[in-house]
Structure formats: C-alpha cells, structure tokens
Structure 1
Amino acid sequence: MMKLTWLGHSCFKAECEEGSVVLDPFEPGSVPGCRDIQEEADLVLCSHEHHDHGYRAGVKLTGRECPIQVTGLQSFHDGEQGARRGPNVIHILEGGGVKAAHFGDIGCMPAPEQIEALQGCDVVMVPVGGFYTVGPEEAKKIVDAVGPRVVIPMHYRGDAFGFDVLGTVDEYLDICGRWVRYEGASIEITPDMPRHTAVLQYE
C-alpha cells in the first residue's frame, strides 16, 4: 500500500512502509489559497525549479535512507521542447508494492519510450488545469496511453485556491469516465483498486 496526501497545487506526500517522499513543494505564498509547506520526509523531489514546484526548504529531511525506488524521466514543460518554459521531470516511485508516477508540470505528450516506462503504474498524478501545462484533453490522452488504475488530477483551480488562469477539475471530470470525490486529502493506493479518477479535497 502507498498513501498519497495532496498538499495543494502539485505537491504530494507519498508514504509506505519503506519510507516517505514529498514531491513538488511550493514556496510560501506562491500559490493563492494554499498553506505553506512544512513537511518531514526521507526524500524531496522536484519536477523543475519554478517557485511553485521547487521549494525544498519546505521539507525537513529525516536523514534516513529512502529505499523507495525513484526513476526520473526527462520531459518538457511545454509543447516546444522546453523552449518556452524549460524542462520537466516525471518521477516514478515504486514502494509498498505500488508503482506511482508524478508528472510535474508536463506540457506535452511523453515520448514513446517514456510511455513504455510508465506502463504498469497503479496511480498517476497529472496536471489538468492547462495554461502552464497540459489541459484536460491532453491529460486524458496521457492517461489513456499509460493506463493506470487510479488518476489523481492536480494543478488546477478550485473555489478557494489556485491560479486564476488555470481551469477547474470539472473540465477533466467531464471527459475522464468514472470518478470519485473523496472526503479528505489522502488516498491509500493498492494494486487491486478499481479503475477511476480520484478527486482529493484540499484541506
């Protein structure tokens, strides 16, 4: 089992028996409506160095070695080979018998060899708000190509949080198929979960 907790925007904490990882922490005050990141984990990973994804200082490291297996896939923040917004790293985590992928600020379709590496993912965290990243339709194409059991949308605008230029999660839900709105910010991922989109609540 791997527990994923949404900390707002594109920031997640992944926890399993082996260890813990925080992905894409944002600088204080950088994302409207989101509280400052103050977490403790074995490892912190950032998809790129923009202020709303690369605030490593928000995570206190335990000093323990993190045995969660991490694979980074180099991609782009835009559809022009990074010419507009630079590089982006897709992080694949394997721990607790679960394979998870965090797409960061992906702005284009991953390359065929990256899609191959992403096969077998139990869960993916993918941006759906558009403008800075892929939008709903592009996100769905990525999801369809990877074929995860669970999809967690991120990097979108809610009623009380997020950048004004981003779309809402509803635009993705309209096209994604089966979805479930969870009561809280956390979800426990197991390899036998039914296929669905999981809408977590920012708390």
Structure 2
Amino acid sequence: MTTKPRIEPLSPRKANPLVRAMYRCTKRRFGEVPEPFSVIAHHPRLLLANAVHEGMLQSASRTLPATVRELAVFWTARTVGCSWCVDFGTMLTRLEGLDIDRLRDIDDYASSPLYSGDERAAIAYADAITTDPHTVTDDQVADLRRRFGDAGVLELTYQIGIENMRARMYCALGITEQGFSSGDACRVPWA
C-alpha cells in the first residue's frame, strides 16, 4: 500500500454530480470508494459503463456455485499479480460467507483436501486461461461441461476473462491493495 496510482483518484470536489452520487453508493456498500472506481471517474461515461456492467455481471452470475467462481477469479488475480484485485476479492469472498482461510492454501489446490473436484477443475481452467501462452485443452473444457453444463462453462470463462481484464488494467494504472481484506480500507486520500 505504499505506491500511488499512475493517475490520481478523482476527488469528490472535482467530480460531477453523477460521479459523486456513485461515490456515495460505493462507499455505503464497501465502506470506502474502491480506488479503481475513483481513477476511472476521470472518464465518467466509462465509469458508468463499468458500473452497469459489473452490476449486471454480478446479477447474471448465478449458475456456478459461489466458491467455484470466487476461487477461479482469485487465482486469476494472483496469477496476473494484481494486489488490489486480491485484496478486494478476498473481501468479496468473505462477504459471500465463504472460507477465506482456504485462500492461503490455494497454491496446493491440486492436492489439498480443502478443495473439491469442481473447485480444482475451475482453478486449473483459470490457470490455463491466464497463463501465456494459453493452455486450455478440449479435454479440460469437456470435463467442465460435464461438471457445470454449457452455461456454467460460459459463466466461468467470462468471469476469468473479466478478471484478467480488471487485473491487467489495474496493474497498468499502478493501482495496488487498498486494505479491503484487512478492514483498513483508507488509502483514497479524501475518503
């Protein structure tokens, strides 16, 4: 939490009324305004598009069990190296009522008894999508289709793809952990 983003967060004083209203909503929901939100606020239309998309994505993602989805997204964020995504994702996992202690053992997911077969398959898929070059196989997708059905595979693929986009974008912008998982979310200077 020692670095500053490459583009300073937009303060409420400089924000238009819509952005200020969005800040209030996110602060009410998460306790603080997420830094990516306040950085993207320099482009209000993009911020609005992002907020609508994230809300719709959350609403639509109901096919997979939450643990499967959240573990795959967490793995993706860690693989890309986005400390903000790991921090925020850990908080979301906790808020979903899931066991965040299992995240400490995620490096051993393939052999750990803490992870189910479905969770292992989803994490392996996240790894195959996120690594360069991509290593997704036909057998892997066929296995996921048996486990989750076509809609589940599409949801999983979309969630992993979106997390890749988020993580790479936030890393490029220099956005780092904000303290959401520790309960110390206070880095946005005006929050």
**Structure 1 length-normalised TM:** 0.25
Considering fraction of residues, name the structure with more helix.
2
Considering fraction of residues, name the structure with more strand.
1
Report 1 or 2 for greater relative contact order, CA contacts < 8 Å, sequence distance ≥ 6: 2
Larger Rg, first or second structure (1 or 2): 2
**Structure 2 length-normalised TM:** 0.26
